[in-house]
Amino acid sequence: MATVPRHEFVPPESAFAAYEDRALPIGEWETISQPYIVALMTDAAAVHPGDRVLEVGTGSGYQAALLSHLGAHVYTIERNPALAQAARARLERLGYGESVEVLTGDGSAGYPPAAPYDAILVTAAAPQVPPALRDQLADGGRLVVPIGSRMEQELQLIVKSGDKVRTEALTACQFVPLIGEQAWPKFGRSWLF
């Protein structure tokens, strides 16, 4: 994590807090996760060089940059076009353009054209595991996803083995909601209340 300059992935007015262990706003009512959670998710995903990884919820691009450093080819999908465009430009400027592909769309549906994935990391909370994401895992693939209500969730690790999946609870957490066809419906900012 020390190799990726987190201050490059937050707005200039938040740069003073970039290395504190807390989530920070990145605009568009979204946040960059706290470093502890990013590290926990990355470790749980057990990414190896050459892995094909899907990240759902690009945000500023920080997690995708970390996954790239581990030798993965990363497909990262963001529903907000402004965030996706800014992340794409940032990742290219910082030298991650060849190993990270930034897409715009409904991340709850995954990205079938590049499936199956060795690992999928979801940086927003869903009410249940989106079936499309589970289905896009390779055999032995790992899915790290926060599951629960809009205010309280549990970070889960799901490992696919043949037609079976094993679920492990990692920790309590609180993420912004995953908006999409296989997650929460979009209805403004009322998810905050």
Domain assignment present for residue 7? The answer is no
* Mean residue pLDDT across the chain: 94
pLDDT for res 193: 36
Domain assignment present for residue 190? The answer is no
* Arithmetic mean of pLDDT, 50-76: 97
Q: At 93, which CATH number?
A: 3.40.50.150
pLDDT band at 64 (very low <50, low <70, confident <90, very high): very high
Domain assignment present for residue 157? The answer is yes
pLDDT for res 188: 52
Domain assignment present for residue 99? The answer is yes
What gap in Å lies between CA 145 and CA 81, rounded to an integer? 22
Q: Domain of 61?
A: 19-176
Residue with tokens 């290395």: 19
Residue-wise pLDDT for 17-35, tens only, equals 999 999 999 988 889 999 9
- Bigger pLDDT: 2 vs 20: 20
Residue-wise pLDDT for 122-178, tens only, equals 999 999 999 999 999 999 999 999 999 988 999 999 999 999 999 999 999 999 899
Beta bridge partners of 166: 159
Ordered DSSP codes for 134-174: HHTEEEEEEEEEEEE-SS-EEEEEEEEETTEEEEEEEEEE-
pLDDT band at 192 (very low <50, low <70, confident <90, very high): very low
Domain assignment present for residue 149? The answer is yes
Answer yes or no: 33 catalytic. yes
Domain count, the chain: 1
pTM (2 d.p.)? 0.94
Domain assignment present for residue 53? The answer is yes
pLDDT for res 190: 44
* Arithmetic mean of pLDDT, 65-93: 97
Domain assignment present for residue 181? The answer is no
pLDDT for res 86: 97
Catalytic residue among 33, 60, 68, 108: 33
